[in-house]
Amino acid sequence: MMVAREIVLKCGGLPSQILQRSKLLSEKDVTYEEWSSVLNQDQIQIWSETLKTIDADIPLYLRGCLSYFGLFPFEFGVPVRRLVALWVAEERVHHGEDQEPPEQVAEHYLRKLIDQNLVQVSKRKRNGKVKTCRLPYALRQLWWTKANDSIFLKSQSTSTDSNVEPKKSIIRWVTDHLNTDHIWYNHIHRDSTRNISDSLRTYYRDVRSFLSFDTREGSKPGKEVGYFMKGCISGNCFLLLRVLDLERVYKPKLPKSISRLLQLRYLGLRWTYLESLPPFISRLLKLQTLDLKHTYIHTLPHSIWEMDLRHLFLSETFHSRFPPQQKDHFSRIRFLLPQLRDNFLHDLQTLWGLFVDEETPVKNSLDRLVNITKLGLACQQMSLQEDMMIDQLKAVADWIAKLEHLQSLRLKSRDEQGKPWMLHLKSFQNNVDLTDMYLLGILSSSSILSQFPLSLIELTLSHSKLMEDPLQILEAFPNLRTLCLHADSYIGQTMVCKSKSFPQLHVLKFWKLEQLEEWKIEPGALPCLRQLEIRSCPRLQMLPDGLKHVNTLLELKLTNMPTEINAEAHNIPPNCQVVPTNFQ
């Protein structure tokens, strides 16, 4: 095992090098001297050969996408949602041959890079999709040690050398890693009372992307990035900026002059804890991605309707509301003027974290956005006018039914006290691409489950108050890989997994099913189950005897369960690890 690990390390995680060295080792005698002669070859030189192969064999458009990984910190797992939006913002991808959205093309590019072992998957989602990724170790190492010479930077005419003369350097990307070797370190983290000299401003005239990874605590990072932005823009720099990504920079002081960045496509403010969105944001009409998740921002400008947004992430926790469309003096004759029709936000694909109450403009407004692929709504009654909120929930259901491209849905319903409330759902007949669904709220009947789309891969139910066994309704869903039944999603006493049920299920979770007393598993059920978690089900005092036949099970988590629960070896599959915690 140690030899295998050393081989992988020496090869920098590059599968082509692992195969090549393994072949060389197979031709040598199994002695320390012979194998050392192979393993101790100059790894930097060998890795560089791989770069030359990439330069020769990989198309230019893929090399351009691959180079973007160099902007992130060395050990950073790059979120796919972030990477795809950044590629699109910098126009590294375009519409596909069949007019596919650029985001789909970007995901196709990423799959190609993964399939060619040039990008590693760091983490997957429960539905199997890639969540984070990064370069193999060798490519990351070469990027950082030979940034000026690597094939990635040659095509960009870019430099990060602190000794380069300003007039001979063109900087396209500024990425603040708090690295003192970068030319911009002193410019960003300088004494804020000093101005940037005219000679240094020439560095930033052609910058297309500014990403900061300054995650230090306190107000200093936010102030420093604000002063830097203000100084650059006042010197007519950053005016070509397409990407401004300040994710996890604590409360950045955004200067008013950002309104001059009319080419900006991506504004990332996730985890910045900003309390308000500056009014000058209304001038950034070319924004494609606005990420306000995990901020305290709850009010959006009316100009949001006029933007070219494709992805809008809001902060559900702090009641991020959508403003109503403002009426203009053309509204009465708009139907006569095609160029003035209401087609704003037509290309919006992601709307996540939106708070919906009685005043939210759903009917004849938000429900016109029919190209959405990812929708996350938190609906809550905020007044005593129950009928108005019921009408809103019905309007939301009608809207969802129209979303033919919907892939991911997160829908919550609460009453005025914040307690789970009724959910209105209609036919999912048009949602043929829906794969991930999270529902929090009371369902009218268990029969609605049978109308869920068969395309579902991941399903979570919470506070559904189902009277009938959901396992017997969902058992034949052919693609379901993850099923989570959370608090009071089922209020019956018995559940049954019949033979041959759940043919693709990998993950099954029962949380806080307080009425559940018995669970039966028939032979042949759950043929692919790998992970099972049972949490806070106080009346379930025995594991099903049929569990021992689920030979694919690798992990059983028991949390806050009665001490009487039977988790003996004879009742557990042979390769399964039991993780008990907090027995009651």
Helix (DSSP H) and strand (DSSP E) numbers for the chain: 14, 21
CB-based contacts of 352: which residues, under 8 Å, 6+ apart? Answer: 293, 312, 313, 314, 374, 375, 376, 410
Tell whether the model's pLDDT for residue 510 goes beyond 90.
yes
Is the pLDDT confidence value at 240 over 90?
yes
| Residue 470 predicted with pLDDT over 90 | yes
d(CA 362, CA 366): 5
Which comes out higher in pLDDT, residue 563 or 48? 563
User: Using H for helix, E for strand and C for coil, what is the string for 326-354?
Assistant: CCCCCHHHHHHCHHHCCCCCCCCCEEEEE
* Confidence at residue 308, expressed as pLDDT on a 0 to 100 scale: 85
- Contacts with 210 (C-beta within 8 Å, 6 or more apart), sequence order: 173, 174, 175, 176, 229, 238, 241, 243, 244, 245
Residue 400, exposed/middle/buried by CB under 10 A (0-12, 13-18, 19+)? buried
Which two structure tokens, joined as six digits, stand for 543?
């594991």
- Could you tell me where the beta strands, DSSP code E, fall in 307-431? 311-313, 350-356, 374-380, 408-414
Condensed to tens digits (0 to 9), the pLDDT of residues 120-147 reads 899 998 878 899 999 887 777 766 555 4
Q: Is the pLDDT reported for residue 40 higher than 80?
A: no
Q: In CATH, what number does 42-152 get?
A: 1.10.10
What mean pLDDT do residues 520-543 have?
Answer: 94
Q: What is the pLDDT of residue 473?
A: 95
Q: What is the mean pLDDT of residues 367-375?
A: 95
Give the model's pLDDT for residue 278: 81
Given this model, what pLDDT does residue 148 score?
40
524: left (phi over 0), alpha (psi -120 to 50) or beta: left
Compute and round to an integer the Cα radius of gyration of the chain: 27
* Structural domain spans, the chain: 1-38, 42-152, 468-584
**Residue 152, pLDDT score:** 37
Q: Which residues pair with 121 in a beta bridge?
A: 133
The mean pLDDT of 356-371, rounded to a whole number, is: 92
Placement of tokens 């009654």 in the chain: 381
Of 535, 533, 574, 568, the closest CA to residue 552 belongs to 574
pLDDT at 580: 80
Q: Check whether 50 has a pLDDT greater than 70.
A: no
Q: Strand pairing partners for 580?
A: 558
pLDDT digits (tens, 9 = 90+) for 269-281: 999 999 988 878 8
Q: How far apart are CA 528 and CA 504, in angstroms?
A: 6
153 falls in which pLDDT band (50, 70, 90)? very low
Sign of the torsion formed by the C-alpha atoms of 205, 206, 209 and 213: negative
Sign of torsion, CA 160 271 351 342? negative
Predicted pLDDT of residue 100? 84
In the chain, pLDDT over 70 holds for what percent of residues? 79
Please choose, from the candidates 178, 222, 269, 295, the residue with its C-alpha nearest in 3D space to the C-alpha of residue 230. 222
| Closest-CA residue to 392 (of 402, 371, 406, 378) | 378
Give the percent of the chain with pLDDT over 90.
54
Mean pLDDT of the chain: 83
pLDDT digits (tens, 9 = 90+) for 439-467: 999 998 888 999 999 999 999 999 999 99
Q: Is 299 helix (H, G, I), strand (E, B) or coil?
A: coil
- Can you tell me the distance from the alpha carbon of 529 to that of 507, in angstroms, rounded to the nearest whole number? 6
| Cα–Cα dist 481/507, whole Å | 6
Nearest alpha carbon to residue 242 among 92, 373, 138: 92
Position 339 confidence tier, pLDDT thresholds 50, 70, 90: very low
320 close to 314: Cβ distance less than 8 angstroms:
yes
DSSP secondary structure code for residue 557 in this structure: E
User: For residue 274, which phi and psi values (nearest 5 degrees)?
Assistant: -60, 145
DSSP letters for 222-269: HHHHHHHHHHHHHTT-STT--EEE-TT-SS----GGGGG-TT--EEE-
Assign 367 a pLDDT band (cuts: 50, 70, 90). very high
- Are 420 and 442 a contacting pair, CB within 8 Å? yes
Is the distance from CB of 323 to CB of 303 less than 8 angstroms?
A: no
- Crossing angle of helices 43-57 and 137-145, in 10° steps, is 100
Scored b (16 or more CB within 10 A) or e, 360-390 reads: bbbeebbbebeebbbbbbbbbbbeeeeeebe
Mean pLDDT within 50-57: 65
405 close to 433: Cβ distance less than 8 angstroms: yes
pLDDT at 346 over 60: yes
Q: Which of 464, 347, 341, 379 lies closest to 99, judged by CA?
A: 347
- Check whether 16 has a pLDDT greater than 80: no
Pairing of strands 311-313, 482-485: unpaired
Assess contact for 118 and 143: CB atoms under 8 A: no
Burial of 478-495, coded b for 16+ CB within 10 Å and e otherwise, reads: eebbbbbbbbbbbebeeb
**Which residues on neighbouring strands pair with residue 350, listed in sequence order?**
311, 374
